[in-house]
Chain A
Amino acid sequence: MSLVLVVDDEPQIRRALRTSLEAHGWEVATVGTGEEGVVGAAEIAPDLLLLDLGLPDLDGTEVIRRIRAFSQVPVIVLSVREGQPDKVAALDAGADDYVTKPFAMEELLARVRAALRRAQTEEPTPAVLNFGGLEVDLARRLVSRDGEPVHLTPTEYGLLEALVSNPGKLLTHQWLLRKVWGQGYGTETTYLRTYIRALRKKLGDDAQAPALIVTEPGVGYRWVAELAT
């Protein structure tokens, strides 16, 4: 059974989250401050952390930074709509995802499940990923769509690989640029946009009804296609 640590200073929210998460079969621990969150992350070693960004004692980004010093536990940030810049900072600091308050429980649960799945897959990622019509052969760096090979440039392939290796996760512009282009990059969103557009076109994804790549304006991109079973 997975253990979720909830860090939020509002008792009502802690209660609502505990009730719902427990009902879905997870074990839940709750704390009300950032300091307790960092200590809790170390002592009880949760499988996932739900972190409110508006804590009274510590800046949420600081909490993530401290936790990341010793743990790779998935962190999902809870933030209000107005806290958009903090959200990006939290993601860049190492948070895995965010959910905007007030959130629908099903949305939060979907994010929690995806994060746990990413963290807990014991078997190595299969060499060939099958997303319905789209197949990505990570070993041979080959992509095909409905059986037809798709020719990608090395950069396009690098971008696709970064996306499919982090299914469901919101990848920030900065993270993608560093991952695909290199450490010296981080603000060249125009490149990224150009390649995402090219990739969508080659993979046949419609940006207005995306089945593969979802744009989060000002934040980044998310790979949403599920593996075919």
Chain B
Amino acid sequence: MERRGPEPNARSRGLSARGLTIAVVAPLAAAVGSIPLSSGGPASAIAVFMLAIVIAAVAGGLWSGLIAAILSSLAVPMLFSTPRFTLQFDGAEDVVTAVVFLAVAIVVGLLVGGASDERARAARREREARLLGYLSSKLLTGEVPDRVLDDFAFVLLDPFALASCEITVELDGQQLHAFAARPEVTVGGPQAILPLVVGAVAFGTVVVERPAGSHAFTADELLLLEAAAKQAAAALDRARLDARARMAQLDAETNQLRAAMFSSVTHDLRTPLTSIKAGVTSLLDPSVHYDVEQQRELLTTILEETDRLNRLVGNILDLSKIRAGALIPTRQTAAIDEITEAVVARLAPRLSEVKIRTNLGDDLPEVQADPMQIDQVLTNLIENAARYSPEGGIIDVMVGAIDHKVEVRVQDRGPGIAPEERERVFEAFYRGRTNPETPGSGLGLAIVKAIVVAHGGSIRIEGTPGGGAAVIVEIPVEEDAAE
């Protein structure tokens, strides 16, 4: 957003050009208007001039009214003395007229001025209330404090007619700094320094400065500035406490996750190891003779369990990479349809108990992505779908392009995922309640989601008309979208 300083106050209290115009035009109009009345004596003309003075005072303020009064005082004798149109005071009568004109101008001007001052004050109060409200809501949203402070500094400029506002804060060892200034104004005017204090702890200052040559801060303004600073301080303090609370919560979650991971991993690692060790020791046992069939069976178990162990170790490695923030895609120009074909080519022979059906759009845009990570996403999703598929079930893999995104949809004919579980299945170690015994570490989808998010994409689960589950992944086509 381009930040322009507020415009100089148009309604200054002195005599504006508009006020001067009214002050001159009103008596002039009165003079012209009263010419036809002049035969009837000055009384009716004086009434017309009075009207002009009141109009000038109401519309232009005190000064405008006074000028109109003076001009009228001069005009009346000119119009009604003989010879006409010469400036000749007829003694006491004209002086009385002039005094009455001036008195009317002053009384009306002050009344009107007072009322407009009152209006201005009310408007300012309202603006101030809005300002304070805006500040507190801004500061409480938990937005990045830096940005909030910038807003805060900027928002103070207009209501206090400041040239610049600078805020320095030290929060939990973190230095924050914000500065806002009106560009077309010379600094060097009166300054005020306000501390940001919560309880007895000062953690920053607000330095405000007016343009050179402006009047000093009034006591009222200083009070208001202090109130604003107090509000900012309270909000910053609250933001700090929130951040601490969030951190503590995150810690607790991490610990919980670690505990879950530890017990799950220990169990998941031991199970295949147990089968492998049992199989191998059986085969090595010299006291038993296994026939070829039995040997094959034992060896097949060992092989399957080894693969399971390998997958688990891979998943745990990926998960620790995610936790360490090290899952960074090595991006290159990649074609998701080509990767899909390669994944299907690799998985189809292995997943012979299901039928994988593909529907790849024509002329799909290429994406900037890590082909091996996208491969992993597709592999995990298809394997997952196969795990929940009935014997001979069809898995549909669809790749299409929608609004600068490539959409991958993997749909199965399994039991589906209940709507309330569709978010949770992406959590590490979460296993659907529907089929808790289905083998799997509960990590696959968490890894898929982490990869998709690292690519700036999104993932969600929907139901299918047939009652199965559809996982939808969207990867943005533009490279910047993910950065």
Say which one of A16-24, A42-50, A120-128, A205-213 lies at the interface with B: A205-213
Q: Which residues of chain A in 184-223 are interfacial with respect to chain B, using CB atoms and an 8 Å cutoff? A: 187, 189-190, 193, 197, 207-210, 214-218
Complex alpha-carbon distance, A193 and B375, angstroms: 16
- CB neighbours (8 Å) of B343 from chain A are 217
Check if A215 sits within 8 Å of B342, measured CB to CB: yes
Check if A82 sits within 8 Å of B348, measured CB to CB: no
Check if A102 sits within 8 Å of B342, measured CB to CB: no
Shortest C-beta distance, B352 to chain A (Å), equals: 12
- CB neighbours (8 Å) of B21 from chain A are none
Shortest C-beta distance, B306 to chain A (Å), equals: 7
Check if A218 sits within 8 Å of B348, measured CB to CB: no
B259 at interface, CB cutoff 8 A: no
Check if B345 sits within 8 Å of A214, measured CB to CB: yes
A132 at interface, CB cutoff 8 A: no
- CB neighbours (8 Å) of A84 from chain B are 372
Shortest C-beta distance, A128 to chain B (Å), equals: 28
Check if A210 sits within 8 Å of B371, measured CB to CB: no
B339 at interface, CB cutoff 8 A: yes
Nearest chain A residue, comparing its CB with the CB of B330: A85
Please give the number of chain B residues whose Cβ is less than 8 angstroms from any Cβ of chain A in the complex: 25
Shortest C-beta distance, A16 to chain B (Å), equals: 13
Complex alpha-carbon distance, A217 and B303, angstroms: 26
Check if B372 sits within 8 Å of A215, measured CB to CB: no
Check if A209 sits within 8 Å of B339, measured CB to CB: no
Q: Which residues of chain A in 16-37 are interfacial with respect to chain B, using CB atoms and an 8 Å cutoff? A: none
Report A111-129 CB contacts with B as 1/0, cut-off 8 Å.
0000000000000000000
Check if B345 sits within 8 Å of A215, measured CB to CB: yes
Q: Which residues of chain B in 320-336 are interfacial with respect to chain A, using CB atoms and an 8 Å cutoff? A: 330, 332-335
Check if B310 sits within 8 Å of A207, measured CB to CB: no
Check if B338 sits within 8 Å of A207, measured CB to CB: yes
B196 at interface, CB cutoff 8 A: no
Check if A190 sits within 8 Å of B366, measured CB to CB: yes
- CB neighbours (8 Å) of A189 from chain B are 332-334
Check if A217 sits within 8 Å of B345, measured CB to CB: no
If over half of B's interface residues share one DSSP class (helix, strand or loop), that class is named, otherwise mixed; here it is helix
Nearest chain B residue, comparing its CB with the CB of A207: B341
Complex alpha-carbon distance, A97 and B328, angstroms: 26
A179 at interface, CB cutoff 8 A: no
Report B362-377 CB contacts with A as 1/0, cut-off 8 Å.
0000100011101100
- Which of A82, A102, A190, A210 is within 8 Å of B333, CB to CB? A190
Shortest C-beta distance, B364 to chain A (Å), equals: 11
Complex alpha-carbon distance, A216 and B303, angstroms: 24
- Which of B330, B333, B341, B348 is within 8 Å of A215, CB to CB? B341
- CB neighbours (8 Å) of B333 from chain A are 189-190
A81 at interface, CB cutoff 8 A: yes
- Known contacts A84-B372, A190-B366; decide if A218 and B332 are in contact (CB<8 Å): yes
- Which of B306, B317, B332, B358 is within 8 Å of A82, CB to CB? B317
Check if B310 sits within 8 Å of A102, measured CB to CB: yes
Check if A216 sits within 8 Å of B348, measured CB to CB: no
Check if B338 sits within 8 Å of A215, measured CB to CB: yes
Check if A217 sits within 8 Å of B317, measured CB to CB: no
Report A65-102 CB contacts with B as 1/0, cut-off 8 Å.
00000000000000001101100000000000000001
Nearest chain B residue, comparing its CB with the CB of A196: B338
Check if B348 sits within 8 Å of A209, measured CB to CB: yes
B183 at interface, CB cutoff 8 A: no
Check if B374 sits within 8 Å of A209, measured CB to CB: no
Q: Which residues of chain B in 28-72 are interfacial with respect to chain A, using CB atoms and an 8 Å cutoff? A: none
B314 at interface, CB cutoff 8 A: yes
Check if A217 sits within 8 Å of B374, measured CB to CB: yes
Check if A217 sits within 8 Å of B310, measured CB to CB: no
Complex alpha-carbon distance, A193 and B358, angstroms: 19
Complex alpha-carbon distance, A216 and B346, angstroms: 10
Shortest C-beta distance, A5 to chain B (Å), equals: 26
Complex alpha-carbon distance, A210 and B303, angstroms: 26
Report B290-328 CB contacts with A as 1/0, cut-off 8 Å.
000000000000010010001000100100000000000
Complex alpha-carbon distance, A218 and B303, angstroms: 28
B344 at interface, CB cutoff 8 A: yes
Check if A208 sits within 8 Å of B358, measured CB to CB: yes
For the A-B complex with A208-B341, A218-B372, A218-B375 known, give 4 more contacts whose Cβ atoms are closer than 8 Å: A189-B332, A208-B344, A208-B358, A215-B338
User: Chain B residues in contact with chain A, CB under 8 A?
Assistant: 303, 306, 310, 314, 317, 330, 332-335, 338-339, 341-345, 348, 358, 366, 370-372, 374-375
Please list 5 pairs of residues, one from A and one from B, whose beta carbons are closer than 8 Å in the complex, sorted by A's number. A102-B306, A104-B303, A208-B358, A216-B342, A217-B339
Closest 4 CB pairs of A and B: A218-B371, A207-B341, A215-B342, A217-B371
